[in-house]
Chain A
Amino acid sequence: MRFLLLFSRQGKLRLQKWFTPIPEREKKKITRDMTTMVLARKPRSCNFLHWKDLKIVYKRYASLYFCCGLDAEENELLALEMLHRYVELLDKYFGNVCELDIIFNFEKAYFILDEFLLGGEVQETSKLVVARSVEASDMLQEKQRLMEIILLFPLFFSCYHGGIHEQACILTTGGNGSTHTRRNLNDYRPGSLTTVQNHGVMSSRMMCLNLCPEAGRKCF
């Protein structure tokens, strides 16, 4: 594969990956041509196009177009499925992925892509494995954050550990030293308030941080 582009219905580029060295000017031209060509396509028409000597395979997912350029001998249908697998991976990582997820976390989208494709070739097709290797790197980030919290609130942490269910964990700290925790990770919803029942010393109403305004969340 030569390149992969993600762009919105308005033609805004959301992600670009070039697998072969292409001069900057040419990249701009390809991007421009791709957006105009693909956006001009009617719905329900063929997903394959030609551009110079390249095959172009594109697919629209909600408001986002995924578009890739292939060499002449590559298999178009397979590329289509590859795009689909990438969407599945994004979906697994972000959980019901939407365009905003990719806009705001485009670097994550790049990391996932890097685990999935290497040098233009599919390196790992298993959803699980890709997710695992992306998470392995993410894990480090969390470890770092957690260590900071532990150092900040040693006292709280010990009670917390004694009292609360093992699954619970700290999300982040507020300005005045109050700690927001959340209990069951699976029923987390952004913006919701969760009261955590404690058996130990701490017993207070805890709040989950509003991490994602509901309004901005459009789902596929």
Chain B
Amino acid sequence: MSDVVEKTLSALPSLLSLDTQAGAGKLSPSSKLGNLIKGITELTSKHEEEKLIKKELESIKEQVASPNTTMRQMKEIMVRAIYCEMLGYQASFSYIHAIKLAQQGSVLEKRVGYLAVSLFLNETDEFLLLLVNTVLKDLQSTNLIEVCMALTVVSQMFPKDMIPAILPVVEEKLTHPKEIIRRKAVLALYKFYLIAPNQVQHIHSKFRKALCDKDPGVMTASLHIYLQLIKENPESYKDLTGSMVTILRQVVGGKLPLDFNYHSVPAPWLQIQLLRILAYLGKEDQGTSEMMYDVLEESLRRAEMNHNITYAILFECVKTIYTVHPKSQLLEKAAECIGNFVLSPKINLKYLGLKALTYVVQQDANLALPHQMTIIECLDHSDVIIKRETLELLFRITNAQNVTVIVEKMLEFLRLTCDDYSTIDLVGKVAELAEKYAPDNVWFIQTMNSVFSLGGDVMQPDIPNNFLRLLAEGVDNVEDRQLRLFAVDSYVSLLQGETAKLPQRFLQVISWVLGEYSYLREEESDPGSVMRLLARLLDQRHTSTETRSWVLGAMTKLCSSPVSVALARDVCERYSGSLNTVLRQKAQELMILSQDTKLRARVLPAESRLESLEVDSSLSFLDGYVSEALAAGAAPYKSPHQRQEDLVQEKALSLEPYGLSLPVSLSSCSITDRLSPTLLSMSSGLSGNSTELSHQEGSTTLKLEGVKRVWGKDGYLAQQQSACETPTPLVELPSPLLSPQTPPSQTQKPSSGLEPDQEKRQLASSLFVGLGSHNSVCLMGRVETAPRHFRRKPRGESSSGASEGSSDSSHSSRSAAVDNLLLSNLLDSTTVASEGGAASTTTPQQTSQRTLDHTTSNGNPLVEGTEQRVEAGGPLSLIRGNGMVAVVPPTHTQTDPQTQQDLHPAPALERRRDLSLTSHLPAELSGLARSEFTPLCSDQDSSLALSACRVYKEDALVLLVFISNNNDSALHQMALQLTCKELEISCISGSPLKEVKGHSVSVCLHTVVMKRASVQVELAGLLSYQRPLGQPQAAQFSLSLSLKHFLRPLTVSTGDYGKMWLSFSHDLKQNLRLVTTEHQEPLTATLDALKGKLHLHVVDIIGSEGIVACRLLQGPGQGQPCLLHCRVHADSLAVWLRSPVPELPDSLLYHCQKALTET
């Protein structure tokens, strides 16, 4: 018999090919999937399909639930479930069965199971945790196919947190004898790298090994990782350039096995991968670039076959050549190559040609010149995608002379497109061009009008913001007046027409501008006209509430004449009853201000609106209110960012509802004040101890901070010349047919004198004017020669100087408690904190250009509000470079009062030391509960002092050792060793500590967890160091840590508690003393005492019984639970402890006893 089997098996391959041909065998009517599919195709309506699928899902549900279903049937069922899901119907009940199938099925069933899992579940799905074990088992299987499947599913989707569990096994597979396994393992690691780069950091050397693998497939796979690594940090991989070049040369030379050919091109995927890597390596690096010139040239030369794949390689090659340090000879060849693309009749190649051109004109705009006619043709191409790409190209070659034509083309496209995404993108580009190159006021306003009406409500909000700022910022000279007046005029005429179609954003812009600048035109028209137009806008149904509040804001500014006041009264009456609170508020304001002229003049002065406003961004005027509130027991303010962080930290155990976030409607109510809307960005940047309420109040006093725009698209913007500079007269448009300035290439075009051709030529001449080195306006000088009166005007130093002054003054008024000597240091530390991005300081996520300015000027008042003291005056920067000292960001120090409460009445000296050390707590730990500082040791002359502090983190105990150097001389060659055999200690402070400067403090962070539960452990430490000109010295110390430091509450439900209780084997019973207090039940009081002292979690108290749970920290993500069952028995507390580990109940009981006797 056995030989029969063998013979038959030998026939298998052919049988296989048969099966593949008969693959459609599932069509046979007996197959259930076949039936289903047929059933669906016969249906005519969606409704019927729904009914059928519902029925099908019902039957699937029934079958999966039945215990008689075999795995084989399950596989078939799963396929049907996948089909139903693909049609868009939920089959969530089958997810768990898919996992089961992957777990329990034979190889084939497993494969379907894994497939179903990968299709059904998302990376974040909790079900995936159930899969980890299966994957682990399969990874270790001896069956290659199983290993392959596991690796496939692992690189498909894997929960980030579970990577450590399987990482060693996957890593092991890198040395597997089978190349397919090695390859999949490399790709799996690549995937891990993408989702959690830190976790694979230690295997970088193995990646190198994979790169040198004898199998080209494995090498190719490893390049994915390298591409990513090099992209992120090209500097550290420069040494690989040689190898990459060699590999590419071999590939191009056809040295790889034929297996790797694709349509007789050697390994195109590999080639392109290598070219991309080379581009990253050679970018802005002449030396490295020189190494690759030869091979790039060879690649260009070899890829000559007329096939898509060779064009793909060529395209990548061109991109690389233009990315690396330029070599003229290569550039020429690449440009020629681009020509082939652009001129190709194949539309895909044309598209890529345009793309390549877009890329290269950024370096040399002249490259577009030879292709002018093609570009013009593409501009009118029937395919929108080509059109869009052409506009992209034109955007890159825009200058002051062709801007009108190009913008016109762009707007034309915008009018036709209906795709939101490209609208947003293109509108932004038009706005940018208009702002940069606008030839005159009229054109600018008209263009922006089209931008607003076309961009509608989808465009980026900073377009209207920038526009309004531009209008507002100018000095009051004739030109700016003209611009504003023209804007007002055009808006008035717009509002007189049909307004129903105008987008809300545009209406908001209009109402702001009219509110601000209508007075400019008032002499020539009757005063109430604008007011009437605005009122009409209010009446229209399509006007949104937000717009209405803008309009009301504008009216508030306008109601000066009696006609307007009467109108305003009308409006007020209507809106003071509005359901919307913002509108009601606005109406009230309007009412009051329209009646009280004096008040109005004071609140909304007509002239000089921007200069005089002052902002106290620290909202110091609210300090009294805040301290009152704090005294009354209010929680200290936390910035939204900080709140989020806290939430994240508490995530696992937090039972609290989410904190309040800033009310959104605020933005709409503060926005219409007499300020440019751009200020909004500032008002959101408040922090410090202001409450949310203060936000509202403060918004009326915000001031426009002068922000200089130093860097523009073209690089450094030179200081604005005098603002009254007259617009540079347009360079006379050279007619290409007559002018000698015509680029020579243009004449190479077929010059049949047809009229359309003529038209195109004219278009070309207007589009490409300003390009070409021989042109009157040369490319390089373009930045300087462009008329620039529309560029955002830099605010003078005066305003920033003023803010400096104001912050200084507020400082002196409030800093009675702060030593002036420390000021420089504090300032220093603020900048340090903000540079390090440790936490939100004053401005959380504003444009970085602005932040630096703000933080330095606004930051100090905040610092002063704290009790922070930096012990020594030495510069911090050096230690910071070592990554050792983290300065507490000012916002965090609000925790101080709390921690101080924990302190026992301590001598003043100690208190000061604690305070000084507090400032050295790393930012990420400062919000957490921590112990007081324990002095460890100090040497005789107390020049060196060590202190320790425990921070109770959720998943570990962090032990901080503070090394304070009180001497003038620095400490060198520092090394801190902590040893204890019962503990697992790991250093987390990054690079090892080397030196501590004189008069400074540095911190070492260690996470500590217990290996085995024990009542108390002794930690031995040794610090070795050397003073300059001294012998190596050492300081020994010891620190005892008790079990309670490693206990954390375990939040479980009563139900889970019950289950766990039954599953734990080690138990212990004991009677304990009951704590009695006046106003509490003895049981509650006792449990509260335990909870407070030992970080336990009281799960439930029912009558005279209470259940309590806790866990002992043990490595990341692990912990040993311990459950306590307490019952009041006579006048003692009977405690029953259970845990899966024998030592834990013992030691915990000891601490319980101790804790209760102490109270």
Interfacial residues, chain A to chain B (CB-CB below 8 A): 13-16, 21-24, 28, 42, 44-52, 73, 75-78, 80-82, 85, 93-95, 100-101, 103-108, 110-111, 114, 118-119, 121-126, 128-129, 133, 135-144, 146-147, 150, 154, 157-158, 161, 166-167, 169, 171, 182, 185, 188, 190, 210-213, 216-217
Contacts and interface: CB of A to CB of B under 8 A. Distances in A.
B343 interface: no
B13, B124, B348, B422, most chain A CB atoms within 10 A: B348
A133 B312 contact: no
Interface string B2-30: 00110111011111111111111111100
Contact of A142 (B19, B23, B115): B19
Interface stretch (B130-138, B268-276, B368-376, B871-879): B268-276
Contacts of A154: 1
A52 B21 CA distance: 41
B309 A75 contact: no
B1094 interface: no
For the complex of A and B, the 5 pairs showing the least CB-CB separation, nearest first, are A77-B312, A21-B123, A212-B24, A119-B155, A126-B259
Contacts of B108: 137, 140-141, 144
B24 A217 contact: yes
B11 A166 contact: yes
A142 B12 contact: yes
A13, A16, A137, most chain B CB atoms within 10 A: A137
B892 to A, nearest CB: 33
Contacts of A135: 13, 16, 20
A185 B22 contact: no
Given A110-B115, A122-B269, A211-B24, A140 B145 contact: yes
A143 B422 CA distance: 55
Contact of A123 (B20, B187, B308, B315): B187
B17 A185 contact: yes
Nearest to A81: B309
A204 B25 CA distance: 24
Nearest to B114: A114
B184 A45 contact: no
Interface string B82-119: 11001110000000000000000011100110010001
Contacts of B106: 144
B438 interface: no
A23, A51, A146, most chain B CB atoms within 10 A: A146
Contacts of B21: 94-95, 188
Contact of B352 (A23, A76, A108): A76
Given A100-B24, A212-B27, A78 B312 contact: yes
15 contacts: A21-B123, A21-B124, A21-B157, A22-B122, A24-B122, A46-B386, A78-B272, A80-B308, A95-B23, A104-B26, A125-B269, A157-B4, A166-B7, A185-B17, A211-B24
Contacts of B262: 81, 85, 125
Given A46-B348, A78-B309, A118-B155, A150 B8 contact: yes
A46 B383 contact: yes
Given A171-B18, A188-B18, A211-B22, 13 more contacts: A21-B157, A48-B351, A77-B309, A81-B262, A101-B23, A104-B37, A121-B221, A124-B183, A125-B260, A133-B180, A140-B145, A142-B12, A150-B4
Interface string B420-435: 0110000000000000
A137 B27 CA distance: 22
B276 A73 contact: yes
Contacts of B269: 78, 82, 122, 125
A169 B25 contact: no
Interface in B829-851: none
B1113 to A, nearest CB: 30
A106 B145 contact: no
Contact of A77 (B184, B224, B315): B315
Contact of A216 (B27, B111, B276, B348): B27
A108 B22 CA distance: 13
A185 B18 contact: yes
A167 B14 contact: yes
Contacts of B157: 21
Contacts of A122: 269
Given A77-B311, A106-B82, A133-B148, A142 B383 contact: no
A125 B267 contact: yes
Contacts of B187: 118-119, 121, 123
Contacts of A216: 24, 27
Contacts, number: 222
Contacts of B12: 139, 142-143, 146
B27 A81 contact: no
Interface in B1097-1122: none
Nearest to B275: A75
B8 A146 contact: yes
Contacts of A138: 16, 19-20
B382 interface: yes
Contacts of A110: 115, 119
B595 interface: no
A52 B423 CA distance: 11
A46, A80, A81, A125, most chain B CB atoms within 10 A: A46
Contacts of A157: 4
B288 interface: no
B22 A212 contact: yes
B277 to A, nearest CB: 12
B183 A123 contact: yes
Given A107-B82, A211-B28, A81 B184 contact: no
B351 A137 contact: no
Contact of B79 (A107, A121, A212): A107
A14 B37 CA distance: 12
Contacts of A124: 183, 217
B86 to A, nearest CB: 6
Contacts of B291: none
B191 interface: yes
A24 B122 CA distance: 8
B53 to A, nearest CB: 13
B33 interface: yes
A49 B986 CA distance: 51
A93 B145 contact: no
B156 A190 contact: no
Contacts of A139: 12-13, 16
Contacts of B8: 146, 150, 161, 169
A103 B79 CA distance: 12
Contacts of A47: 348
B259 A129 contact: yes
B122 A45 contact: no
Contacts of B601: none
Contacts of A167: 11, 14
Nearest to B14: A185
Contacts of A125: 260, 262, 267-269
B316 interface: yes
Given A52-B421, A122-B269, A28 B27 contact: no
B155 A111 contact: no
Interface string B133-152: 00000000000110010001
A158 B4 contact: yes
B190 interface: yes
Contacts of B87: 13
A216 B34 CA distance: 12
B162 interface: no
Given A123-B187, A212-B27, A106 B86 contact: yes
A45 B351 CA distance: 10
A143 B5 CA distance: 10
B388 interface: yes
B385 interface: yes
Nearest to A100: B24
B690 to A, nearest CB: 36
A104 B383 contact: no
A121 B272 CA distance: 13
A81 B86 contact: no
Interface string B372-402: 0000000000110110100000000000000
